Structure 1
Amino acid sequence: MISEITLFDFQSDAVNYLLDATTDPGTKHKIILKSPTGSGKTVILLSYIDTYLGNVNAERVFVWLTPGKGNLEEQSEEKMRALFPHAKTGNVHDVLLQGFSPGSTYFINWEMITKSGNTALKEGERKNLFERITDAHRSGIFFTVIIDEEHLNNTSKANDILSALSSEHEIRVSATTKKISTAEFYEIPEEEVIASGLITRALYINEGVDISEMDDLDSEALFLLQMADDKRKEIKAAYGEQGEKINPLVIVQFPDMSDRLIEYVESCLEDMGYTYNNGLVSKWMSDEKINTENVTEHNNPAAFLLMKQAISTGWDCPRAKVLVKLRENMTETFEIQTLGRLRRMPQAKHYGDDRLDFCFLYTFDEKYKEVAMQSGNAYEVRRLFLKENCRDFTLVKEVRNQDYEYVNEREARDKIYDYFIEKYKLTTDKAENKNRLEAYGYIFGTKIFSRYRSGKFQRLHDITDERQGQHLEISYEVSTHDHGIDCLHAVDMVKKDIGLPSNKTRAILQHLFHKMIRSNKKLIALSNREWYAFMINNTYKLREDFTEVATLPNLRQMQYLEKKREPFKLPLEDFYRYQPYEPDVQVYEKNAYQGYDTSMTTDALRSTCEQLFEYELEGRDDVEWFYKNGDTGQQYLSIVYGTNISKEYLFYPDYIIQKENGDVWIIETKGGEVQGKSKNIDRNIENKFIAFKEYAEKENIHWGFVRDRNHKLFINNTEYSEDMSSPEWVRLEDKF
């Protein structure tokens, strides 16, 4: 029996596409459906399943996997029972108790089968999930897997389950995904979803914001809340004019680690008449929920909902019409998929009134990005096993000493001071120093300068087009109270590359630039308010300068690093990414792992230099075997290196080579040159070179950095030079 439900044309087209794709023997195993938020993807998938069972194969079993947030598997199963009362459904517990029943659809929470220690994967009195899958295969059952919100499902155990199911097709569905070469791809046009009335006609960013109002702005947060509240009242009046009993909701979204900002917003809302006590404010945080019961209902009294970045998958609140996106620092970037929560129309129709047919965003984030959170499924993973002749090979690896933290605050301060003096030609004349730094783009004064974007955007993707909308600049006087969080995050941005905690980084910045801190390393003497504004306005420039100081080569690093040494053996088994549809695959016979082939060394997985080097190794008669080291992890070969200010890190050289004569080589590949310009992007390359050289001398092994130029390979193991025309870089075959 096939139920008759009314679908929009774009939904019917999607159902027909899935039917064609899953009945065509020439279709690829994976099928990606990109479905905009609010387009009714659950209805599309349920209609597809019902039609398939009714017309193609009534015995097929569908396994519907959902992410672990928001009880999405229960919502999907309930919707199937409501729309298709005759459908046979079940969950993971039904599978464990009774096995898979032909013609059924099983809704399974992804985390229930991937978290360690869960019931679904335990050996015990009942047959576990793997055994039930095996039983189903033996009885002739065939599976089709649907992965809902596919970007959230990416674990090694998940791959084990998917491999065990051995489905004929894998349908992966998400609003944020991209086309990949290893899968069929179908995208529902956003314009058709808009035309259906299911989602808003367009998005307004900062609608009604007047730049002239910004001159004396005390707080971005307060201003944005007031703008959002005014818009909310307009929308509520418009609903009243249409005879609708809908109370529009403002979502206030906070970044992570923003407790002080939350308290400030709560205080602002209280001054505006909105509190938890009067029921007009709700809070939905992972550790605290206030007034959240029935908050999604159309006429719920809550006018503001406070939440952090991770809105539960499947959370549906069509009355949400306005989003206030707060930023804790001046450089945070806004993620577009959050806007999908605003786009649903409460009654699935447009009214012909922009106040109701549009959604509204208020934020001062200048940069916008659409993050397609792929689950890594552009590449498959294959487990390889180490060859017998490589299993006794041993080396020594270096690891960080967890009990050791050398970074010297005074030494770091002095090096940063000397760097500024040399780079910007500064003197003891602080006024002149200010002029010189200003000439290089540093901003001074007591005003904070910021940019924001304004305009009408019909499609979410339009926001990523920098040519659309207006880019406006605002400035307002700094407040050490209101902008304390912004200053704190500016310090946090700067500290990342120097290895000091926030309090010590702040102390260095005050020694250099704050007049209230006595120091003989003073570059400029700023007042407290000037220093706050200086930090917020110049975060990126300060971070760039501090990073450059940290990555300068330090020939003395080995004198103070207290490294630990541990034995290293090649892993007995390892996982390598590969492209399954790569044509003309050839095995590397000289690789240390059985089955390592050219599908694992495509240009999507290896750099040009790495590809050339592996081809070279495979063709050399004097090479017994070679090993491609991992990028990070305790099981791989690591070497400790230090930065210019004594912070220690690990790097993982790319290759270990055993030659026929017994010589051992370790090689690190780097970006080479194209038309005389360096492709190297590793700013710590010289410090790694220094550490690598010291390690090789201590362990008595051969080593080198290898780079490519004009499709030829060059090696250097003497003194580092970025310029590949220098005599330090010689042809690989002349030394290796």
Structure 2
Amino acid sequence: MELREFQLTAVKELFEAMEKSAQEIILKSPTGSGKTIILTYFMQQYMLSYPNTVFIWLTPGKGSLEEQSKAKMDRYIHMSQTKLLPDVMTSGFDENDSCFINWEKLNKKGNNALKESERTNFIEHINRALKNGLRFVIVVDESHQNNTVKADEIIQYFHTKKIIRCSATPRGIAGAEIIDIPEEEVIVAGLIKKMLVINENFEQIIQTENQINYLLERACAKHREIRSALLQNDIQVNPLIIIQLPNNSDLLQNTVEQWFEKKGWTYENGQLAVWLSNQHENLEKIEELDSPASAIIIKQAVATGWDCPRAQILVKLRDNMDETFEIQTIGRIRRMAEAKHYGIELLDSCYLYTFDEKFTEGVKLSMGKGALDASTLFLKKDYVNISLTSEHRTMVTDHRDPQKALLAIAKYFEHTIKTGTNRTENTLLLRTAGFVISDDIYRHTYSGETATINKAAVSDMNKIAVTEKLNTHTHGREYHQKIGKLGMEIGMGYSYMNTIIRRLFEKNSNYNRKILNLDLKQVYSFVINNTERLRHIIREAMAMEIAQMQLQFDANQVSKNIFKIPQTCLFTYDKLSKGQIEMKKNVYSGYLSSAEPRSSGERIFEKFCEQVSSIEWIYKNGDKGSEYLSIVYNDNSGKQRNFFPDYIICVQGEIWIIETKGGFDRKGNSQDIDIFSPKKFEVLKNYLERYNLKGGFVRYDNKSNELCICTEKYSDNVDSSEWQLLSNVIL
């Protein structure tokens, strides 16, 4: 099982949270982010590092969620040791068990899943496990539904020191350690749709005899458009429309059914499905990508755990009263059918049609710039013939090359710490850089007095080093855990990272760039004592511009095609923004100053272009997809990446390509968080030279209130001569 980078990051943060004092850990995981994959992978890795552990995965009562979760772990994790409640009742708990339990079957009133005698037996199994030295870690799935007194009673049986609560909408717990998976990273990974489009191309004033018919017509027209594009691209997916009815709306249901019957979508021919508490039709294969069901009728609540990745359009109907917005509802249409983007805005977006103003407000409040108003813009005829060469990666794998990663890390040590071939000198250099090189394991604690417990008070205390002799048995698991963490930093498995560490530091390796000559025990100590420094170095080594590291691909590793500005674009904007000025220099008619999502730097740059007379036109490039201008590069481990520069502009007849980055604050400190900026700059410069174009990186300097451009040599120092005023360069 290969995890995406953001998933590996979440696993790493779970490990870190387990080492902290807080009992409660909250994993805020957006719908579609692969929560079960993240947790089951973490559980497996944790049990490899920490003996005598048993995981208890608690689920709420609806939808047989515990069986679904167990089945996923069995599928994802080879040789996983999973159990359901009946298995526990038969054999109790064993080391490395992952037990999936529906907590309502234990104590729900009127539920006969466990009789009183069996419930007593269940508690006896727990007590026996505790007596045998096992320790329980609790995972509370869908925690927004499990945060009850009865659920808490179940948790208390296990006497656990760690509880991991996970949900797309978790409820806050004071003092909890929060792990928040950014929705943007899930989108970049291609697992969920890039944008939720609300009421696309609706007029400012709508006159209609029947609101229901109007919304259904729009939804079905969008269904036809999406279906046609999928077939043209040989993608065998039938997009699903979800029609959500308010509760107590039988009459409304009849109206919807009759409308679809006139269209030819019926329960009898399988094109219409329904999932209500008292009615189920055509649900058996509805989750299959090519299911004939094109629409499903549901009520306000959808069963917990129901996933239908092909769902793409939501029609939210109302019946006199507005209803409370539920983020889970929108989550049903956000997954990508095949867990990847297609590079086509139409297919990589999901669509909401509703006249429910309160619901719409709830969507925008919850999703922010992920849910925007939208309209289709058309390219002005003067720009249809503009063409450039676009490059796209041909390697479909995201795997890193261990050999290149090894070389990059070795070169990073040579570049930053100045290591060489003399291992004795290297030892001194590493110690000077703060590395601990010892046969023993070093821990640290503090000594002193304080009236308050905070970081400032602790920093004033005496720092005490505590040493212990290395024991390969007891510290072996810790070494495994640390190596796993280091690998997670760059998306590399344990075995590869272990090999890299051994090549660099173990005396028995034959690597010509070896840094130290440590025996195996000393390698264990070195890794355990210096994990944080190694993590930083390994991460930075993948992005740093180092001499002789490969920048460009061979011809057969890059796919080149002619880029032309797309004839249409799905323009998303903030309808409530006070600024709704049309940007006349934009290549699209109707492009507004309220365009979203935009960074502050992008917004300032667009206004600059609108005001400067030498700039003739401007195009905002997309950030993913084959229809946008892309440049291929690889990181220092050989992983291919596509770089999509932000803007293409024309200055007095010449094409410029511009990438905007985080600016500089009033003290000159960089606000750019992209560690790949230096590498991207070199790649862009190389591209501009090859195709005889101009361009560079643009950043906003808060001290001078000016946009600055870097065109020759990248620097992170705004006071450097490499940064010039954009107005001086462009004019």
Taking structure 1 as the reference length, the TM-score comes to 0.50
What's the TM-score once normalised by structure 2's chain length?
0.50
